[in-house]
Amino acid sequence: SQELEQSPQSLIVQEGKNLTINCTSSKTLYGLYWYKQKYGEGLIFLMMLQKGGEEKSHEKITAKLDEKKQQSSLHITASQPSHAGIYLCGADRTGGTSYGKLTFGQGTILTVHP
């Protein structure tokens, strides 16, 4: 089984619709990072969450880390074609001994139709 489960695996929405992507871990998350990737390119850092209950927003994207620090959600409001891509959650699952290792979910492919 995946150490980090992302859902859904893919999402097709009409421009202007809201959407949510979830990232669930069976272990406590010491840091949760959201990235966006265009196919075949590098990952673009979106947001970092560390504290239980923390919520951050940037433009139309909001990310939350639940109180138990085992699940995070990424919410996009009024989606646009520019939001299309692959969204990945990456987690620090061991705290101070992770030494540069992030564990990633399998990604969510987002398609936004104009």
Partner 1 sequence: KAGVTQTPRYLIKTRGQQVTLSCSPISGHRSVSWYQQTPGQGLQFLFEYFSETQRNKGNFPGRFSGRQFSNSRSEMNVSTLELGDSALYLCASSLAPTGGSGQPQHFGDGTRLSIL
- CB nearer partner 1, residue 79 or residue 91: 91
Phi-psi region of 100 (alpha: psi -120 to 50; beta: other; left: phi over 0): left
- CB nearer partner 1, residue 3 or residue 78: 3
From residue 28, alpha-carbon distances to 15, 42, 50, 68 in Å are 35, 27, 11, 7
> In one letter, which amino acid is 13?
V
35's tokens: 């990235």
Q: How far is the CB of 41 from partner 1 (least distance, A)?
A: 5
Q: How far is the CB of 17 from partner 1 (least distance, A)?
A: 27
- CB nearer partner 1, residue 44 or residue 78: 44
> In one letter, which amino acid is 7?
S
Contact residues toward partner 1 (CB under 8 A) are 30-31, 33, 35, 40-45, 48, 50, 88, 90, 92, 94-107
Q: How far is the CB of 31 from partner 1 (least distance, A)?
A: 7
